[in-house]
Amino acid sequence: MKKELIRPEVLAPAGTLEKLKTAIHYGADAVYIGGEAYGLRSRAGNFTYDEMREGVAYAKEHQAKVYVAANMVTHEGDAAGAGAFFRELRDIGISAVIVSDPALIEICITDAPGLPVHLSTQASATNYETLNYWQDEGLERVVLAREVSMEEIAKMRENTDVEIEAFIHGAMCISYSGRCVLSNHMSKRDANRGGCSQSCRWKYDLFDLPMAGERRSLTSQGTEVEPFSMSSVDMAMIEHIPDLIQNGVNSFKIEGRMKSIHYVSTVSNVYKAAVDSYMADPENYICKQEWIDELWKVAQRELASGFYYQRPSENEQLFGPRRKIPVYAFVGQVLAYDEQTKIATVQQRNAFSVEDEVEFYGPGFKHFSQIITSMRNEDNEVIDRAPNAMMTVYMPVSQPVSPGDMIRKKK
């Protein structure tokens, strides 16, 4: 008897209200955001209660969900006010909170009954006994540690029926499940309370330090070798969608609350297309090269499959010259389109000019490229370049476009 396949949720990051709406517009079934307390991204555009209300209303209108990450590690005094915070989220209509600290979990369950709790990846869930423990504690879903293998996920699904959420795309942390103190030491910013300065991404070198005399680099002396970092490559599981679905992963989590709407729209679009394609015809599913190519248009680093199939080696770390360099830049977003004149109203995000070749893309994997032949500014003046951030530009387009469509060009 064949195992019934359950369609996984595509879960996208949303650092701002604009990113929330973009992710859902481009196919995400759910988004995760941060509030103004208890999260791990203090520099992301964290949501006020009013912004949450607007985001929840938009999500409900599009049959999507909103989760709030409250996954900080609490020290004495940090949990003050958490009960009121969780009650407010529940009353706003947040679908679940993502928590790692047992104290915050207990407060949420006790003080805000009815608000579902998901275990954060920071809690390092790596075996089915742990999943069953948290299910017994009242949690509906566990976000797995990024260090688990596909074989371990299969074992978990055989031995538990709690929902499993797993990261499928985005940045990887060099420390186990993100529990790092490098930032604390290097910049006095606590990574586990929202202040990570990404010290692992800095450039380091190895020096000879003699008792007397000047220090001397042992790696870059007389060469063009880039200094060493502790930085890992990013994850991309686009080529392994069948394994994830067949092994019972309920939610495909995309990392990147601090990434741009270009990233959020592209990655949501790709994984939505891949999941839809697989669920429509699992027997004849193939991973399309155009999906892989699309992800490379927003990749910031090299891509690999993390821990799913093997232990990462030096090939999954960043050092030396880049092995593949992103070649596209996000330059604008369509605000409106006039069908009669075939003129698009565009909001500029990076400079572009007449005679540039640009690519338009939208939800549902809609793409086309064209040369910009002419432009006018808000005063209806002819211009040959759009250099000012967020300026409004009017330009003829060769095919119909829609509000929310994005524009990119080769660097």
In a domain? residue 305: yes
Looking at the structure, do residues 255 and 357 belong to the same domain, yes or no? Answer: no
Please give the pLDDT value at position 7: 97
pLDDT at 226: 57
Based on the domain organization, do 208 and 245 belong to the same domain? no
Top-confidence residue, 41 or 112: 112
pLDDT at 82 over 90: yes
Q: 98 with 14, same domain?
A: yes
Checking if the pLDDT of 295 tops 70, the result is yes
Span of 216-225, 287-296, 387-396 with lowest mean pLDDT:
216-225
Q: Percentage of the chain surpassing pLDDT 70?
A: 89
For residues 359 and 397, membership in a common domain is answered with yes
Q: Find the domain containing 370 and state its range.
A: 328-410
What confidence tier does 57 reach under pLDDT thresholds 50, 70, 90?
very high
Write the pLDDT tens digit of every residue in 361-382. Answer: 999 999 999 999 999 999 999 9
pLDDT of 89 strictly over 50: yes
Are 138 and 259 contained in the same domain? yes
Over residues 294-315, the mean pLDDT reads 87
Looking at residues 294-301, what average pLDDT do you find?
A: 88
Whether 275 shows a pLDDT value over 80: the answer reads yes
Q: CATH number, domain at 340?
A: 2.40.30.10
pLDDT of residue 3: 67
Question: How far is Cα 199 from Cα 230, in angstroms, rounded to an integer?
Answer: 8
**16-20, 43-47, 340-344: least confident range:** 43-47
User: Both 13 and 155 in a single domain?
Assistant: yes
Whether residue 281 is found in the same domain as residue 356: no
Name residues whose C-beta falls within 8 Å of residue 135's C-beta, 6 or more positions apart in sequence. Answer: 142, 160, 161, 162
Considering the domain architecture, whether residues 295 and 339 belong to the same structural domain is answered as no
pLDDT greater than 90 at residue 12: yes
Residue 119 included in any domain? yes
* Residues 58, 78 within the same domain: yes
**Considering the domain boundaries, does residue 322 fall inside one?**
no
In angstroms, the CA 132 to CA 86 distance is 24
Average pLDDT score, the chain = 90
Q: Is residue 129 part of a domain?
A: yes
Residue 123: what residue type?
Answer: A
Q: Does position 191 have pLDDT exceeding 50, yes or no?
A: yes
- What's the mean pLDDT in 286-302? 92
Q: Classify residue 249: in a domain, yes or no.
A: yes
pTM higher than 0.85 for the full model? Answer: yes
Last residue of a domain, one of 316, 345, 368: 316
> Please, which pLDDT band fits residue 221 given cuts at 50, 70 and 90?
low
Tokens of 235: 């994850």
Q: Do residues 112 and 83 touch, judged by C-beta distance below 8 A?
A: yes
Mean predicted confidence (pLDDT) in 246-257: 96
Q: What is the pLDDT, as a whole number, of residue 55?
A: 98
Residue 186 has pLDDT above 90, yes or no: no
Render pLDDT for 311-324 as a digit per residue (tens, 0 to 9): 888 777 776 666 56
How would residue 192 be classed by pLDDT, with cut points 50, 70 and 90?
low
pLDDT digits (tens, 9 = 90+) for 386-403: 999 999 999 999 999 999
Looking at the fold, whether 141 and 244 belong to one and the same domain comes out as: yes
Q: Write out pLDDT tens, residues 195-211.
A: 677 777 777 777 777 76
Give the Cα separation of 346 and 329 in Å (integer): 16
CA distance 304 to 315: 9
Residue 94's pLDDT is what? 98
Q: Mean pLDDT across the stretch 48-71? A: 97
Q: What pLDDT score does 1 carry? A: 43
Structural domains counted in the chain: 3
Which residues make Cβ contacts (< 8 Å) with residue 404, sequence separation at least 6? 22, 25, 333, 334, 362, 363
Secondary structure of the chain in the HEC alphabet? CCCCCCCCEEEEECCCHHHHHHHHHCCCCEEEEECCCCCCCCCCCCCCHHHHHHHHHHHHHCCCEEEEECCCCCCCCCCCCHHHHHHHHHHHCCCEEEECCHHHHHHHHHHCCCCCEEECHHHCCCCHHHHHHHHHCCCCEEECCCCCCHHHHHHHHHHCCCEEEEEEEECCCCCHHHCCCHHHHHHCCCHHHCCCCCHHHCCECCEECCCCCCCEECCCCCCCCCCECCCECEEECHHHHHHHHHCCCCEEEECCCCCCHHHHHHHHHHHHHHHHHHHHCHHHCCCCHHHHHHHHCCCCCCEECCCCCCCCCHHHECCCCCCCCCCEEEEEEEEEEECCCCEEEEEECCCEECCCEEEEEECCCEEEEEECCCEECCCCCEECEECCCCCEEEEECCCCCCCCCEEEEEC
User: Do 152 and 298 belong to one domain?
Assistant: yes
* Residue 62, pLDDT score: 98
CA 54 from centre of chain = 21
